């Protein structure tokens, strides 16, 4: 008989403490219940953080291109001034002035858009220098391990996410310019310590996995899934992020088959939980 187990933020471990559940986990070589709970909890949280970062950059980019041409623009930086606040600023060609300041509060949903030209602040100079240093140091150390599919889906996007007070993670996340498709894979990340030194590299998928959300006849696809190799045994934050970014409005969930643990994970948006089906 298949056993379905739920994991997610704020979910009590009531049904998971039974001896039967523990035996099933052991049989599938899954970590202990409490560890799997913590792992999935952190994956969901980080997936949403990555989504908010990417979404803020999307909106800010659209706003700045309504006002300026590419030739008029220089760099941009995005960061979290507070836990619930995301901010993206764009600079002019010489990186001397800020031409757009976009702010979004996750909790209140309040948006602030400032498009009057002003001198770049000392904080923004420091953030831009930090971004450039992270990318330079990270690619110098791990560039030979970074490879991206050459299909015409658009270049990977870069997102800098604060994991905690001592760890920053730079994501290289696949986007797409194609309609009716969710791009999974073609993604990696580099971790940096508090001294901005690269300390770890992770490639989440070995290829680009394109999941259409419409059939060839134009019919809506109700469920999508892909599989993970044994070196990637869980759903990833990048999976959750790109699902949230590109899903049709009526698609609530997606699945990932774990070859490492012979189980199916289903992330449900309405529940904000990961359901595990042991095979």
SS (H, E, C) 169-224: EEEEECCCCCCCEEEEECCEEEEECCCCCEEEEEECCCCEEEEECECCCCCECCCC
Report d(CA 171, CA 24) in Å as an integer: 34
Choice between 6 and 203, residue whose per-residue pLDDT is larger: 203
- For residue 53, is it within any domain? yes
Report d(CA 203, CA 189) in Å as an integer: 7
Domain span at 178: 3-11+26-66+121-278
- For residue 84, is it within any domain? no
Tokens 């015409």 found at:
152
Report d(CA 71, CA 93) in Å as an integer: 7
Percent of the chain with pLDDT strictly greater than 70: 89
pLDDT tens figures, 17-36: 444 555 566 666 788 878 88
Q: How many CB atoms lie within 10 A of CB 198?
A: 18
Confidence of residue 211 (pLDDT cuts 50, 70, 90): very high
Between helix 33-65 and helix 237-246 the angle, nearest 10°, is 40
- Count: domains in the chain: 1
- For residue 220, is it within any domain? yes
Beta bridge partners of 90: 76, 100
- For residue 194, is it within any domain? yes
- For residue 74, is it within any domain? no
- For residue 45, is it within any domain? yes
The DSSP element (H or E) to which 30 belongs, if any, is: none
Encoding tokens for residue 61? Answer: 């980019």
Task: Kindly give the pairing relationship between strand 167-173 and strand 198-203.
Answer: unpaired
Confidence of residue 8 (pLDDT cuts 50, 70, 90): very low
Q: Which residues contact 181 (CB under 8 A, 6 or more apart)?
A: 210, 211, 212, 213, 246
Report d(CA 273, CA 76) in Å as an integer: 34
Instruction: Give 172: exposed, middle or buried? Use CB within 10 Å, 0-12, 13-18, 19+.
Output: buried
- For residue 102, is it within any domain? no
- For residue 17, is it within any domain? no
Encoding tokens for residue 84? Answer: 């619930």
Q: Which residues contact 238 (CB under 8 A, 6 or more apart)?
A: 47, 50, 171, 173, 184, 187, 204, 205
pLDDT tens figures, 236-263: 999 999 999 999 999 999 999 999 999 9
Q: Are 198 and 192 in contact (CB under 8 A)?
A: yes
Predicted structure pTM score: 0.89
Mean pLDDT, the chain, integer: 89
């Amino acid at each position: 008989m298949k056993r379905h187990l739920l994991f997610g933020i704020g979910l009590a471990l009531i049904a998971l403490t039974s001896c039967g559940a523990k035996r099933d986990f052991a049989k599938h070589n899954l970590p202990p219940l409490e560890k799997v709970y913590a792992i999935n909890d952190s994956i969901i949280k980080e997936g949403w953080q990555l989504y908010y970062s990417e979404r803020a950059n999307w909106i800010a980019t659209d706003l700045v291109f309504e006002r300026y041409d590419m030739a008029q623009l220089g760099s941009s930086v995005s960061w979290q001034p507070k836990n619930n606040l995301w901010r993206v600023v764009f600079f002019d060609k010489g990186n001397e002035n800020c031409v757009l300041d976009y702010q979004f509060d996750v909790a209140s949903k309040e948006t602030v858009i400032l498009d009057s030209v002003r001198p770049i602040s000392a904080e923004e100079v420091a953030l831009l220098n930090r971004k450039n240093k992270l990318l330079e140091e990270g690619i110098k150390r791990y560039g030979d391990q970074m490879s991206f599919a050459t299909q015409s889906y658009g270049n990977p996007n870069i997102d800098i996410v604060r994991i905690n007070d001592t760890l920053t993670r730079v994501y290289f996340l696949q986007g797409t310019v194609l309609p009716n498709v969710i791009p999974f894979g073609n993604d990696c990340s580099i971790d940096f310590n508090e001294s901005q030194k690269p300390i770890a590299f992770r490639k989440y998928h070995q290829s680009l996995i394109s999941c259409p959300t419409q059939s060839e006849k134009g019919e809506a696809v109700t469920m999508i899934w892909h599989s993970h190799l044994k070196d990637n045994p869980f759903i990833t934050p990048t999976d959750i992020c790109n699902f949230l970014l590109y899903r049709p409005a009526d698609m609530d969930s997606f699945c990932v088959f774990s070859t490492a643990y012979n189980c199916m994970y289903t992330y449900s948006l309405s529940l904000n939980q990961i359901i595990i089906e042991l095979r």
